[in-house]
Chains A and B, each alone.
Chain A
Amino acid sequence: MTAIVVDGLRKAYGAVEAVRGVSFTVEEGEVFGLLGPNGAGKTTTIEILEGYRHRDAGSVTVLGVDPQSGGRKLRERVGLVLQEAAVPPMLSVKELVELYRGFYPSPRPADEIIELVGLTEKAGERVRKLSGGQQRRLDVALGLVGDPELIFLDEPTTGFDPSARRAAWEVVRNMRTLGKTIVLTTHYMDEAQYLADRICVIASGKVVAEGTPETLRARTERRTHIRFELPAGVDVAKVPIPLTVSNGMALIETSTPTRSLCDLTTWAVAQGIELPNLEVNRPSLEDVYLELTDHDVAAQGDRTGVGAHE
C-alpha cells in the first residue's frame, strides 16, 4: 500500500512559487525523509499534506484521501509534530496527554506514551516547568497519542542536545517497528541517514534527488577525494596524476581511488617523499546534499518571500 502520493504539486504565495511541480510517493511503513534548505518549499509541501494549506495544482492523497477535504476522519489517523508549536503551559504532562487522548477514537495508554518519550518522571509536572527539550518531547507524545497510522515530524530534533537527539531517534525507530509510516523533515543529514529509508531532497520548490541514503551517496561515488599536504620543494607537474592545490593542500578527485592512490604512493615512495596528512574521503551524504542544494540556493537570491511561510 502507498501511504502518500504527491503528483505535480504546485503552490504559490502571491508571485512567489514555493512549490513548483513536486512529485513523490511514500510507502506504508517506511520512514521518508524530506530534506532541503530553508525556503526550499518543504514546509509548504508538508503543510499541504497535513491539510493546513490548499494546493494550486497537482494531486495529493494521504492514506487514500485528499487532505484538503479529509476532515476529522483523516485527522484521527494522522499524527502531527509541528515545527514550532508551544504546548499549553498550565497543565501537567499527564493531564495534557489525557486531554489529547480524548480527541481520538482509540488512543494509546497515557503512561505508555509518556514513557515512550522518556517523561515518566515528569508526568506530574506542569508543562511550563519543563525544559525546552522536554516540551518538545511532550509535543512528540501528543502527536503519537492517537495511535496514528501516519506521522509527520517537522524538524523534530531541532534544538536538542546530542543525547536528547539520540533518545528522540530511538522513539522514531520504535514507531517504525510498530509499522507506522513516518514523514520526517530535517536539516541534519546524520538524522536523515540514521532514520530514513528513503530521502527526497527539495530545493527551490523542486525535487532535486530521491532515493535511499546509499543511492544518493552513490551519485557522487566517482569523485572520491584524496588529499595531502604538498611537501616543500615538490614540483606539482612531476606528480603522475592531475591534482589541484590550494593553501598548500593537494586535492585529487578520482573515480578510481585504488588505482589513483597506488599511482600516487608508488611515485612518492620511489621519490623518497613522505606525503603529510594523506587522507582518502568518500563524499558524505552531507556533501551530496550541499552539492544538490547549494547551486539552487545561490541562484535563488532573496528567498524571504518563501521563507516567510517556512
Chain B
Amino acid sequence: MSNATIALHQVEFEQKSFWRNPAAAFFAFLFPIIFLVVFATLFKGSRAQVGPVTVSYDDYYIPALVAFGVMGACFTNIAMSISLRRDNGILKRLRGTPLPSWAFIAGVVGSSIIVSIVLTLLTTLFGILVYGIHTPQHILAAVVTVAVGGLVFCALGLAMTIVIPNADAGPAIVNGVFLPIVFISGTFFPVPDTSVLAKIAEVFPVRHFIDAMFMAFDPARQSSSGFNGTDLLIMAAWGAGAVVACVLRFRWEPTKG
C-alpha cells in the first residue's frame, strides 16, 4: 500500500471515529451554532466597530465564529482526543505497528480540517440565510485563512498534549487556556484595538485568526484581496513553534505514577 493510501485510510478512520462519537460531534458542531444563535439574538440590530470600519454585529460575528469553530475542531478536539488516546494506550499500540508517525498525524489533522470545512460552510450559510450577512467577499482569502488557521491550530492542539499530564486533566487545561484567550481576542464581541485586552490578545494567534477571517469576509469592502499578511504570519509563527515543540516533546505513551 502506498504512503498516500495509508494516510487516506487514516483520515477515513478518524472521520468514522469522529462522526460516530456523539460527544465529539456535539462539541464541535452544536457549540458554535448555539453561540451563534445566543449572541446574535443578544446583540440583535447592534453595530460593531472593527478597526476603522463599522459593520452590523452579525457581519462581525459570523467570521469570528467561523474561526471559533475551526479552533474547536482542530485545537480543542485534537488536544482532548489525543491525550485520551495516549492515556489508554492506543497511541503506544500504534507506535508498535509499521504505521509511520506522519501518516497517523496526517489522519488526525486531515480529519480535523474536513470537520473545519464543514463547520465553516455551515456557519457561513447560516449567517447568510438566517442573519442576512454580506456574502464573503474574498473566497480565496477565506479558503487560505481557514486552511492556515486549521493547520496552525491542529499543531497547537498536538503541542497542547505535551503539557496535559493525563486525560482527566485535559478538559480543564485545554479550556483554561483556550476560553480566556478566545474571550479577550474578541470572538463574541469586538475588542477595541487600543484596549489593554487587545494588546494582550495580540500576542496569541486567536485574535489574528479572527482578524484574518473578518478581512476575508470583508463586509465593509475595505480590502482588495482579503489577505492580511501580518495576521497569517503571526499565526504561522505559532504553528511553527508548535511543530518544533511536538518534534521535541510529543509523547506516545501514558505518563504514570
Contacts and interface: CB of A to CB of B under 8 A. Distances in A.
Interface of A: 50-52, 72, 75-76, 78, 80, 82, 84-88, 90-91, 95, 99-100, 102-104, 126, 139, 142, 146, 304, 308-309
A80 B97 CA distance: 8
Contacts of A146: 97-98
A254 to B, nearest CB: 47
Given A85-B89, A86-B90, A102-B1, A75 B21 contact: no
B221 interface: no
A52 B256 contact: no
Contact of A103 (B17, B20, B99): B99
A183 to B, nearest CB: 13
B97 A88 contact: no
A119 to B, nearest CB: 18
A90 B21 contact: yes
Nearest to B9: A102
15 contacts: A50-B96, A52-B92, A52-B95, A52-B96, A75-B96, A75-B97, A80-B97, A85-B90, A85-B93, A100-B97, A103-B97, A103-B99, A139-B93, A146-B97, A308-B257
Given A76-B98, A309-B256, A103 B6 contact: yes
Contacts of B257: 304, 308
Nearest to A82: B93
Interface string B73-110: 00000000000010011101101111110000000000
Given A52-B253, A85-B90, A142-B93, 10 more contacts: A52-B92, A75-B97, A78-B96, A80-B93, A82-B92, A82-B93, A95-B13, A102-B6, A308-B256, A308-B257
Contacts of A309: 256
Which 5 pairs show the lowest CB-CB distances between chains A and B?
A: A85-B89, A308-B257, A86-B88, A80-B96, A90-B20
B16 interface: yes
B40 to A, nearest CB: 33
Interface string B229-257: 00000000000000000000000010011
Nearest to A304: B257
A280 B257 CA distance: 46
A99 B11 CA distance: 11
A104 B20 CA distance: 26
Interface in B2-56: 5-6, 9, 13, 16-17, 20-21
Contacts of B6: 102-103
Contact of B100 (A72, A88, A126): A72
A94 B182 CA distance: 41
A82 B96 contact: yes
A51 B96 contact: yes
A259 to B, nearest CB: 54
Nearest to A91: B16
Contacts of A91: 13, 16-17, 20
A4 to B, nearest CB: 16
